[in-house]
Structure 1
Amino acid sequence: MSYTGPGFDPPQPRRPRRGPLTVALAALVPGALLGWAVYAAVGGSGGDEGPGSTAASASASPSAPASASASSRTSSPAPSASSEGEKPSAPAAASGPLEGKVVVIDPGHNPENFKHTAEINRQVDIGTNRKACDTTGTSTNDGYAEADFTLDVAHRMRTLLEKQGAAVKLTQDGDRPFGPCVDERARIGNEAKADAVVSIHADGSGTGNRGFHVILPGAVDAGAADTRAIVGPSDDLGTRIAGNFVRVTGSAPSNYVGDGTGLVTRKDLGGLNLSTVPKVFIECGNMRDSKDAALLTSGAWRQKAAQGISDGIVSFLRG
């Protein structure tokens, strides 16, 4: 997901009460600091210095050619998926520590969005203003589409969470021609009465900008949007996901937003503004940086990403 586009508000600075991510991890994830130390010692994925800019350095996201999109989907087969309207059918979802919990995974964008520019450019109400229904997302310089990445990680997460007993629903599974729009994505989580919702993305920022960040909802009370009740639990969910993401993947927090915490608060995203249940976004890395792209295009790394995000969700739901 690129930071470019109409209606973008720059990432809000973190509240002073929050220290660096590594401090938060010490309380939440005992193994995280050890994982970070190992990462730093071996020169892991986030060691490069970047320009530290945000929207000004983000590049526009080209529409990936249909051939490139199809190729990337077939090169990394994922577990078979249920259709959007069906309940998870895996037997493992019937029992486990997350039995009775509902998790909605929101794979960002749609592999076919670039074929439906008129539809995805339609403006929808996000409470604070109006914004495009959806976007094409970004891609690596070699043409691996963000929408393919998000679906792959979502499938891996679904398998992991169903094994824990959760009922898992995807907002889209490559089973619709475009979208859904950002307001519908929020509505799917709300109507499912989800205990947690996570929207999966990868960024399209400038070369040298590296690392992941988790986007938390800011306090919004405008029009159809009222996030005040979910700000606290979403903050908890996002912090746990960030900690476990570091621990499992060894990836560094973003070097260009979040002041090294890996956490950013925003009020301009309809998927967060319109949510009535705990929800966060995660930008798993920057597709336009060659070193981050090497991770994002690796099936083994995507499995780690799915595990880290899922572990954060499990930690949140189990308290």
Structure 2
Amino acid sequence: MSYTGPDFEPPQPRRSPLRRPLTVAIAALVPGALLGWGVYAAVGGPDDDGGADRAGGARTPAASSPGVSASAGADAKAPTGTSPSATPRDPTASASASKPAPAAPAKGPLKGKVVVIDPGHNPGNFQHPSDINRKVNVGTHWKECDTTGTATEAGWPEAKFTLDVAHRLRTLLEAQGATVKLTQDGDRPFGPCVDERARIGNEAKADAAVSIHADGSGAGNRGFHVILPGSVHDGEADTRAIVAPSAELGERIAGNFVRATGSAPSNYVGGGTGLVTRTDLGGLNLSTVPKVFIECGNMRDDKDASLLTSNDWRQKAAQGMSEGIVSFLRG
């Protein structure tokens, strides 16, 4: 199988359809993707399709509206209650022990471009249940401010994974000349809430925004998927202007993520395309700038967890995201 997208073919003029799913075709396979897929298959490829699970293996109901995945991702995750203090080992300890030095004046192909990186959840969320459980308006409905996210079976929390990858991604993008802003940098006790996460990107007038997550589905569900905003025009939510550019951003990130990491698209959502459209996530519904979520893998599956806890793999994940963002911003 292969994964095709904008960065596996000659550049095409931007098209206006609301969603252009990626295709899977052996004939379009490129050497880099073939090697990555071979490595992935060797350690255990896709199994049977199935609905996404919450952390701990509890099955979630299927989405009731068309185009909305049942994925247990992003700002829809239920808290796991896992305390970082119970974690036997922190895979990011050596990579994230010190804060990065201030960035040099911007120069490079992305000079003048603004990217907002949204590391999902917050390591301190579990200590503030009343704060993160309060409801906020996400345009179409009210939902919890935030959640604790999921964790590996060994207890390593998603919030530490997302912050580590965000730091790596920031370094790569700043090296290209981009101005990079994080929605949180381990510098606040909890949150921010999902509506504030969207507002940070909007107020920064970001040219692209990416929310980083890892899923909490059932064991055997493997692979990554990129969540795109569906068309929403209800209450304070109006995504109509960002649907098309967000789809392009998501496609480019997905294609480069395959190439950089060797990981396959999700075997449980997205129909093998690695792309899922949702209309229930406040972080997307309230965005006025091109934005996507990426679920980098499933923390509750042992094979995916072994990747997510690898320093080398996380660097490749950041590289794939960076290349996709650069491709999108340069056109």
Q: TM-score, normalised by structure 1?
A: 0.86
Are positions 1:89 and 2:107 aligned together?
A: no
Q: CA deviation at 1:305?
A: 0.3
Question: What CA distance in whole angstroms lies between the structure 1 residues aligned with 2:89 and 2:38?
Answer: 36
Are positions 1:310 and 2:307 aligned together?
A: no
Aligned-partner SS, 1:40: helix
Q: CA contact under 8 A between 2:92 and 2:160: conserved in structure 1? A: no
Q: CA deviation at 1:33?
A: 2.9
Q: CA contact under 8 A between 1:79 and 1:155: conserved in structure 2? A: no
Q: 1:218 aligns with which of 230, 242, 248?
A: 230
Question: What CA distance in whole angstroms lies between the structure 2 residues aligned with 1:142 and 1:155?
Answer: 23
Q: CA deviation at 1:80?
A: 4.6
Structure 1 pair 263–226 and aligned structure 2 pair: CA distance change class (3 A): same
Q: CA deviation at 1:176?
A: 0.5
**Which structure 2 residues correspond to residues 285-296 of structure 1 after superposition, within 5 A?**
285-296=297-308
Question: What CA distance in whole angstroms lies between the structure 2 residues aligned with 1:233 and 1:46?
Answer: 35
Counterpart amino acid of residue 181 in structure 1: C
Q: CA deviation at 1:147?
A: 0.1
Aligned-partner SS, 1:199: strand
Task: Tell me which residue corresponds to 2:271.
Answer: 259
Q: How many residues align?
A: 294
Q: CA contact under 8 A between 1:238 and 1:263: conserved in structure 2? A: yes
Instruction: For structure 2, list consecutive stretches of 5 or more residues without a partner in the other structure.
Output: 1-17, 59-78
Q: CA contact under 8 A between 2:47 and 2:220: conserved in structure 1? A: yes
Q: CA contact under 8 A between 1:22 and 1:33: conserved in structure 2? A: no
Counterpart amino acid of residue 33 in structure 1: V
Task: Tell me which residue corresponds to 1:122.
Answer: 134
Q: CA contact under 8 A between 1:116 and 1:178: conserved in structure 2? A: yes
Are positions 1:18 and 2:21 aligned together?
A: yes
Counterpart amino acid of residue 139 in structure 2: G
Question: What CA distance in whole angstroms lies between the structure 2 residues aligned with 1:162 and 1:124?
Answer: 33
Structure 1 pair 310–120 and aligned structure 2 pair: CA distance change class (3 A): same
Question: What CA distance in whole angstroms lies between the structure 2 residues aligned with 1:194 and 1:79?
Answer: 28
Counterpart amino acid of residue 288 in structure 1: R
Question: What CA distance in whole angstroms lies between the structure 1 residues aligned with 2:165 and 2:54?
Answer: 26
Q: TM-score, normalised by structure 2?
A: 0.83
Question: Could you say what the CA RMSD is over the residues aligned between the two structures, in angstroms?
Answer: 2.4
Question: What CA distance in whole angstroms lies between the structure 1 residues aligned with 2:19 and 2:122?
Answer: 36
Q: CA deviation at 1:285?
A: 0.2
Cα distance per residue 1:237-285 (max 9 Å; x no partner): 0000000000000000000000000000000000000000000000000
Q: CA deviation at 1:301?
A: 0.4
Task: Tell me which residue corresponds to 2:252.
Answer: 240
Task: Tell me which residue corresponds to 2:80.
Answer: 62
Counterpart amino acid of residue 217 in structure 1: P
Structure 1 pair 17–155 and aligned structure 2 pair: CA distance change class (3 A): closer
Cα distance per residue 1:109-142 (max 9 Å; x no partner): 0001001111101111111111100000000000
Task: Tell me which residue corresponds to 1:9.
Answer: none
Structure 1 pair 188–289 and aligned structure 2 pair: CA distance change class (3 A): same
